[in-house]
């Protein structure tokens, strides 16, 4: 390779022939030869006298992808004997056509346009390879490349996946520019409608935009949802500066609880909240206390509230006294008027025995009777709890509750009990 380079740069008479030989080596069957020749070509491409010839050859190789089968020039004589490998496009032959062109893009951003044109015209197998090997070419281009900004702004139909991939590569190690964010958002709202296109620009979105798009984000595959949550919870940028548009852990979990069932299936929302709970280092007991305190004050109480209460208790049993305060607040909010919340209330009382016995005694008689009729464990436990009380403690229990507890009736009360008062 070094000899060829020397001949190209010093021997004008044979320069063209040697350069052509070197260019042919850029799609050699031997990957090491291919890579070494590409390195030499990249250095020559920086010189004005070679730039046009190199780019013309690279463009010719790129154009081969439009053909129904790979051209013979890509293969050695030995390879040509293997009809199967040379008569159809394979990942290797696709890479050979792309390698030279892609290696030049970082030094001439304008070349990205022709790649975009090819992407639109060729089949999905070739597109897949382009998306796979694009990274090393696009990453050095930076966030301020006018050519890339132009592509995003004027994205042709059929190139949306490529634009999304380019945006993803460019934003992995740097915050997207305002122009990029606005253009990707515009593309999303008008053309793409695939929420994955917004993932690369999450760090540039406003908090309200992120929250409003959560119902769509959580419909993505779980690993991607986890990645989205990780991105929005990354509060500090590389310089350590707080980003006010990012969502706090408590805000994210609360936002998930506020998603309506018209926007998303309940199971999908549950799966999303589970991703949060699996991050124990992020969702500490203090964070969950903050979340539950805010959720319990909402009207109506979010449908997943009691599930979250139970998960919090499962993760942090020491929260039991705080959870008793939550149950007490639910009584004042007449939780029995929301069937799912009421069902969760009862289940929570079962899980938190014996702490919950004092809470049960605060229920209105009708609701207390309903609880005791559907769960014998709470009834038996509450009876034992009362028997263990001192006379003074026993006398403090309203007689209306004692009558309910001593009642031997086994008939579940009708639904009208939800309208009962103390």
pLDDT tens column, 37-95: 999 999 999 999 999 999 999 999 999 999 998 888 887 766 666 655 667 899 999 99
Token pair, residue 31, equals 């990957």
Question: Which tens digits make up the pLDDT trace of 195-245?
Answer: 988 988 888 888 999 999 999 999 999 999 999 999 888 754 444 455 566
pLDDT at 380 over 80: yes
**How far apart are alpha carbons 92 and 155 in whole angstroms?**
28
pLDDT at 307 over 60: yes
Token pair, residue 71, equals 């051209």
Token pair, residue 34, equals 């291919």
Would you call the peptide bond into 354 cis, given omega within 30 degrees of 0 as the criterion? yes
Residue predicted with more confidence, 389 or 37 = 37
Would you call the peptide bond into 300 cis, given omega within 30 degrees of 0 as the criterion? yes
Q: Say what the pLDDT of residue 245 is.
A: 67
Q: Say what the pLDDT of residue 419 is.
A: 40
**With helix as H, strand as E and coil as C, how does the chain read?**
CHHHHHHHHHCHHHHHHHHHHHHHHCCCCCHHHHHHHHHHHHHHHCCHHHHHHHHHHHHHHHHHHHCCCCCHHHCCHHHHCCHHHHHCCCHHHHHHHHHHHHHHHCCCHHHHHHHHHHHHHCCHHHHHHHHHHCHHHHHHHCCCCHHHHHHHHCCCCCCHHHHHHHHHHHHCCCCCCHHHHHHHHHHHHHHHCCHHHHHHHHHHCCHHHHHHHHHHHCCCCHHHHHHHHHHHCCCECCCCCECCCCCCHHHHHHHHHCCCCCCCCHHHHHHHHHHHHCCCCCCCHHHHHHHHHHHHCCCCCCCCHHHHHHHHHHHCHHHHHHHHHHHHHHHHCCHHHCHHHHHHHHHHHHHCCCCCHHHHCCCCHHHHHHHHHHCHHHHHHHHHHHHCCCHHHHHCCCHHHHHHHHCCCCCCCCHHHHHCCC
Tokens 């579940």, residue located: 412
What value does the mean pLDDT of the chain take? 87
**How far apart are alpha carbons 272 and 266 in whole angstroms?**
10
Residues 127, 119: contact at Cβ < 8 Å? Answer: yes
Token pair, residue 145, equals 């490349």
Tokens 């013979």, residue located: 72
Token pair, residue 380, equals 């038996």
Burial group, residue 295, by CB count within 10 angstroms (0-12, 13-18, 19+) = buried
First-last CA distance in the chain: 92
pLDDT at 191 over 90: no
**How far apart are alpha carbons 102 and 36 in whole angstroms?**
15
Q: Say what the pLDDT of residue 200 is.
A: 86
Give the residue from 31, 51, 35 showing the smallest Cα distance to 1: 35
């Amino acid at each position: 390779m070094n000899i060829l380079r020397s001949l190209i740069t010093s021997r004008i008479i044979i320069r063209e022939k040697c350069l052509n030989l070197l260019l042919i080596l850029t799609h050699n069957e031997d990957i090491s030869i291919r890579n070494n020749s590409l390195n030499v070509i990249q250095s020559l491409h920086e010189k004005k006298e070679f730039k046009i010839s190199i780019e013309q050859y690279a463009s010719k190789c790129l154009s081969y992808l439009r053909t129904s089968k790979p051209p013979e020039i890509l293969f050695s004589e030995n390879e040509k004997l293997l009809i199967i490998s040379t008569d159809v496009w394979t990942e290797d032959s696709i890479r050979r056509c792309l390698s030279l062109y892609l290696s030049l893009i970082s030094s001439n951003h304008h070349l990205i346009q022709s790649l975009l044109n090819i992407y639109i015209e060729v089949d999905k197998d070739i597109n897949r390879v382009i998306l796979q090997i694009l990274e090393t070419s696009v990453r050095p281009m930076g966030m301020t490349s006018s050519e890339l900004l132009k592509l995003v702004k004027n994205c042709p139909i059929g190139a949306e996946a490529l634009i999304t991939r380019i945006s993803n590569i460019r934003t992995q190690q740097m915050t997207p520019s305002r122009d990029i964010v606005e253009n990707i958002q515009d593309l999303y709202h008008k053309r793409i409608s695939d929420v994955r296109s917004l993932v690369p620009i999450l760090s540039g979105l406003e908090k309200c935009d992120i929250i409003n798009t959560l119902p769509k984000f959580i419909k993505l595959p779980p690993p991607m949802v986890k990645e989205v949550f990780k991105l929005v919870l990354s509060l500090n940028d590389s310089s350590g500066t707080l980003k006010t548009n990012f969502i706090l852990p408590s805000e994210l979990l609360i936002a998930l609880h506020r998603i309506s069932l018209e926007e998303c299936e309940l199971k999908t929302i549950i799966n999303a909240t589970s991703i949060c709970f699996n991050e124990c280092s992020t969702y500490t007991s203090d964070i969950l206390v903050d979340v539950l305190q805010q959720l319990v004050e909402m009207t109506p109480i979010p449908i997943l509230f009691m599930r979250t209460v139970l998960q919090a208790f499962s993760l942090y049993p020491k929260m039991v006294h705080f959870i008793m305060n939550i149950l007490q607040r639910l009584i004042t909010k007449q939780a029995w008027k929301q069937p799912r919340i009421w069902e969760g209330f009862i289940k929570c009382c079962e899980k938190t025995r014996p702490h919950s016995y004092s809470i049960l005694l605060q229920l209105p008689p009708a609701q207390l009777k309903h609880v005791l009729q559907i769960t014998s464990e709470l009834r038996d436990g509450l009876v034992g709890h009362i028997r263990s009380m001192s006379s003074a403690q026993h006398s403090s229990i309203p007689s209306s509750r004692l009558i309910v507890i001593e009642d031997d009736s086994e008939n579940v009360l009708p639904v009208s009990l939800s309208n009962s008062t103390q």
